[in-house]
Amino acid sequence: MAIKNNKNAKIPLIINCDTGIDDAVALMMAVKSEKFDIRLITTDVGNVGPVQSAINCNDILELIGGPEIPICAGEGKCLTREREHVAVHGKTGLGEYRFPKNSRKLLKEDAIEVLNRTITESQEKITILCVSPTTNLAKLFKKYPEVTKNIEKIVIMAASIEPTPKGEAPYPEFNISVDPEAAEIVFGAGVPMEIVPMEMGHSAYLDWQEVFKTKNTNFVGSVFEVMFRAYKDRHVKNGIAMHDGTAVAYMTNPELFKVSPVHTDIEYFESVDTGVMTMDFNKKPNAITCTEINIKKFKKLYFDLLKKCK
Ligand code: RIB
Ligand code: CA
């Protein structure tokens, strides 16, 4: 008997993140949307070290009254490059807010083994939301290439769709350019890739009035406002970029976005001393990318979910 496609079924999800401030917003939105069965969170190289990111994930889950979710810190070493963690998100990765201690634990296992086990043993195909560099996923695919068979798709906050003159380097977006060799492996693994580029989070940024509204919404909002003070995205001078939040919104409310098939490559440019994602809308597509976001509806979604916190 055909199994009815149950529209209310929760999406089996793994989140790979580098919790940071916009990752924290994304985690709140994912949990409060109630649309995901979050099986595992792994933390990767990125805004801060993976152990701190993992602690930050538990602090945010405690703050929003979220469920216990298995959280495992990745190794934190890029495939080949030495990287220093940048303090774009403040010392702890969540700005200057000091979270009270909580009893939530972290998995003390190898993140690649946990990823492989969680995906392989799942009865349903798993969707991966990546809102960080892709180092954990590249290591997983290198060690266990068969695991891709049980992955539905990867939704990734990454890259820039801004056109650049031929031969010039596109903007080196962080989640690709911290570990471009890893991104090359992940985008080449044959898993359907859906990209939420940085222009979405830049255009859907919270302005100062909306930051003030966040603060006055509830206690969680007041904590977010303290965190926001440390978020310095060079492209957004008058507010807070919502990069990772837009990736969650793309999964929960795809109707807020316009998308297009696109051909992506990872190319290396001396001018930026790393690899960047190039996008070509005229070549044979190998991914889908968002091209537009309904800013007003995104912000309504953000506040509606924030109001579900206390
Ligand atoms: O370029 C923005 C991305 O880099 C976001 O995911 C942010 O959290 C950082 O990881
Ligand atoms: Ca991130």
- pLDDT, one tens digit per residue, over 154-179 is 999 999 999 999 889 999 999 999 99
Atom of ligand 1 at shortest distance to CA of 241?
Answer: 2
pLDDT at 5 over 60: no
For the segment 8-24, what is each residue's pLDDT rounded down to a tens digit? Answer: 789 999 999 999 999 99
Least confident of 80-84, 99-103, 279-283: 80-84
pLDDT at 72 over 90: yes
- Greatest pairwise CA separation for the chain in angstroms: 58
CA distance 48 to 93: 6
pLDDT at 65 over 60: yes
SS3 call for 155: strand
Q: Which two tokens stand for residue 85?
A: 């963690």
Distance 1 CA to ligand 2 centre (A): 42
Atom of ligand 1 at shortest distance to CA of 132?
Answer: 10
CA distance 11 to 21: 24
Please name the residue that has the structure tokens 């316009």. 258
pLDDT number for residue 166: 86
Find the residues whose C-beta lies inside 6 A of ligand 1.
Answer: 18, 20, 22-23, 46-47, 131-132, 157, 173-175, 198, 243-244
The bridge status of strand 274-280 relative to strand 257-269 is antiparallel
Helical residues (DSSP H) of 77-110, grouped into ranges: none
Strands (E), the chain: 11-17, 36-43, 71-73, 126-131, 151-157, 193-196, 206-207, 239-240, 257-269, 274-280, 287-293
Average pLDDT, the chain: 95
CB contact set of 163 (below 8 Å; sequence gap of 6+): none
SS3 call for 5: coil
CA distance 98 to 59: 10
CA distance 22 to 53: 12
217-240 burial, b at 16+ Cβ within 10 Å, e below that, comes to: beebbebbbebbebbebeebeebb
Distance 175 CA to ligand 1 centre (A): 6
Atom of ligand 1 at shortest distance to CA of 133?
Answer: 10
Angle (deg, nearest 10), helices 21-33 and 243-252: 20
pLDDT number for residue 8: 75
Average pLDDT over residues 87-102: 89
When pLDDT is cut at 50, 70 and 90, the band that residue 83 belongs to is confident
pLDDT number for residue 4: 52
Order of strands, edge to edge, in the sheet holding 193-196? 71-73, 36-43, 11-17, 126-131, 151-157, 193-196, 287-293, 257-269, 274-280
Atom of ligand 1 at shortest distance to CA of 21?
Answer: 8
Least confident of 71-75, 110-114, 230-234, 291-295: 230-234
For the entire predicted model, the pTM comes to 0.96
Distance 9 CA to ligand 1 centre (A): 29
Which ligand has the minimum distance to the alpha carbon of residue 198?
Answer: 1
Which ligand has the minimum distance to the alpha carbon of residue 231?
Answer: 1
Minimum CA distance residue for ligand 1 atom 10: 132
Q: What is the DSSP letter of 107?
A: B
Distance 17 CA to ligand 2 centre (A): 5
Which ligand has the minimum distance to the alpha carbon of residue 171?
Answer: 1
pLDDT at 111 over 70: yes
Minimum CA distance residue for ligand 1 atom 1: 174
Q: What is the DSSP letter of 218?
A: -
How far the first Cα of the chain sits from its last, in Å, is 43
